[in-house]
Amino acid sequence: MNQSPSPSDQVTEAWRRHRPYLVNLAYQMMGDVGDAEDIAQEAFLRLSRADLDEIDDVRGWLTVVASRLCLDQVRSARARYERPGGNDLEDRRPAPSRQDPADRITLDDQVRAALLEVLRRLSPGERVAFVLHDVFGVPFDAIAETVGRPVGTCRQLARRARGKFTVAQPKSAEVASAEHQLVTEKFITACANGDLAGLTAVLDPAVWGAGTILADPAPPPQVNHGPQAVATNLLLYLGPEVTLVSGPAGGPVVLAFAERRLFAAIVLTIRGGLVTKIEAVADPVARAGAGQRP
C-alpha cells in the first residue's frame, strides 16, 4: 500500500519545485537578491510549520506569504528612505572591494542602479500589484487578498505602476508575455535543480549559445550549438549553487548570482515557446570574488 508523503517530504518537494519561482518573485519586488533569498527562506519556514492538509495550492500559499513579507519590508524600507538623512536603498549597496580599482563599474552596479531607479518610482502597493499581476499573472482578486485592498484599487495600483515603469524605461521592451515568463521560469527552475532533461526541454532543436567575458583584452566568445551541448555547458556555470532571477519586470533576461553577487546576465531569445538563442555576458572578477573560479 502506498503511503502519503510525510510533511517533511512535502516541504522538501515544494522547495525543489517552487523555491526558484519564489526567489524570483521576491527579487522583482525587492531589487536585492539577498533580501529575496531571505524572504523565500522565511516563507518555507512558515510552510514547514503550517498544516499542509489545509493547503490546497502550495505555490499559491507561498506566493501570498512571500508577497506579504515583501510588502512589509518595502514599506519599512520606504519609511527609512523618506526620513531626513535616511537613504536605506543607497546604504544597502555593497562597498567597493579593496581588491578592485575604486572606479571599476561592475555588472552588479549597473543592474542594481537600473532596477532601483525603477523601483523607487513605485509605492509599496504599486510595486506588489504590478509584479504579481503584470509579471507573474496573479489575478487581481488574489492580489486584493494579499495586500488587503479592494480589487478595483489593486487594478489602479498596477495601472499606475505600469505607467511609471514605461516612463522609467522608455527604450525597453514591453513587459514579457505570459509565454516568455513561463519559458523563463522553466529555464530558471531546471538550472536551479541541475535538471539537464528539464533544461533541454525548453531549448529549440536549433538553439545556439554564445558567452562573452568582461575582460581586457576579451577572449573570443564561446559558442555552442544544439540543446545537449548548450544545456550541458550552461549547467557547468548555472547549477544549483547559483541563484537565478529574471531581469527587471520579467523581461527575457536571466541574472546569475553566486553568494549574492551578480556575475552574469543571460539574454534569452524565445520563439514558439522555446529558447532559440542564448547570449551571456559574464564578469569573471565577480565570480572569483564570490568564491568561484573565473
Contact 263, 280 (CB under 8 A): no
What's the pLDDT at 158?
A: 87
Q: Is cis: bond before 217, omega within 30 of 0?
A: yes
Q: With respect to residue 245, please indicate whether it lies within any of the assigned structural domains.
A: yes
Residue from 231, 259, 229, 257 nearest 243 by CA: 257
Nearest to 266 by CA among 107, 153, 121: 107
What pLDDT score was predicted for residue 80?
A: 58
Span 252-265, pLDDT tens digits: 788 899 888 888 88
Inside any domain, residue 106 = no
Q: Is residue 110 part of a domain?
A: no
Residues 19 and 146 in one domain: yes
- How much is the pLDDT for 3? 67
Are the C-beta atoms of residues 122 and 43 closer than 8 Å to each other? no
Query: Does 58 map to a domain?
Result: yes
Long-range CB contact pairs, 106-111, < 8 A, 24+? 106/262, 106/283, 106/285, 106/286, 107/214, 107/262, 107/263, 107/264, 107/265, 107/281, 107/283, 107/286, 108/261, 108/262, 108/263, 108/283, 108/286, 111/247, 111/248, 111/255, 111/262, 111/265
Burial classification of residue 269, based on how many CB atoms lie within 10 Å of its CB (0-12 exposed, 13-18 middle, 19 or more buried): middle
**209/72 same-domain check:** no
pLDDT (0 to 100) of residue 106: 53
Query: Does residue 161 form part of some domain?
Result: yes
pLDDT confidence of residue 97: 42
Please check whether residues 59 and 27 belong to one and the same domain.
yes
Contact 294, 285 (CB under 8 A): yes
User: Residues 137-196: pLDDT tens digits?
Assistant: 788 988 888 878 899 998 998 888 877 766 655 444 444 567 788 899 999 999 999 999
Is residue 132 domain-shared with residue 203, that is, in the same domain? no
Q: In this structure, are 204 and 255 located in the same domain?
A: yes
The last residue of a domain, from among 166, 190, 225:
166
Q: Do residue 139 and residue 191 come from a single domain? A: no
Last residue of a domain, one of 108, 143, 166: 166
In this structure, is residue 215 part of a structural domain? yes
Same-domain pairing of 135 and 75: yes
The residue behind cell 532601483 is 116
* pLDDT number for residue 44: 96
Averaged pLDDT for residues 120-145: 82
**Contact in structure between 52 and 273 (CB atoms under 8 Å):** no
Among 166, 191, 223, which residue terminates a domain?
Answer: 166
Asked if residue 143 and residue 54 are part of one domain, the reply reads: yes
Query: Does 161 share its domain with 182?
Result: no
Q: 274 in a domain, yes or no?
A: yes
Higher-pLDDT residue of 70, 251: 70
For residues 280 and 124, the answer to whether their CB atoms sit within 8 Å is: no
Q: Answer yes or no: do 219 and 278 share one domain.
A: yes
CATH code assigned at 36: 1.20.140.160
* CATH number, domain containing residue 222: 3.10.450.50
Q: Which of 2-11, 72-81, 190-199 has the lowest mean pLDDT?
A: 72-81
pLDDT at 294: 37
pLDDT at 173: 46
Number of domains comprising the chain: 2
The model's pLDDT over 108-123, given as tens digits with 9 standing for 90+, comes to 555 556 666 666 777 8
**Segments forming the whole domain that contains residue 267:** 178-288
pLDDT tens digits for range 33-63: 999 999 999 999 999 999 988 998 999 999 9
In a domain, 231, yes or no: yes
Is 148 in the same domain as 183? no
Distance, in Å, from the CA atom of 73 to the CA atom of 67, rounded to the nearest integer, reads 10
Band (pLDDT 50/70/90 cuts) for residue 222 is confident
Averaged over 225-253, what is the pLDDT?
Answer: 85
Q: Name the β-bridge partners of 212.
A: 281
pLDDT tens, position by position, 74-105: 887 665 555 555 444 444 444 444 444 444 44
Whether 133 and 234 map to the same domain: the answer is no
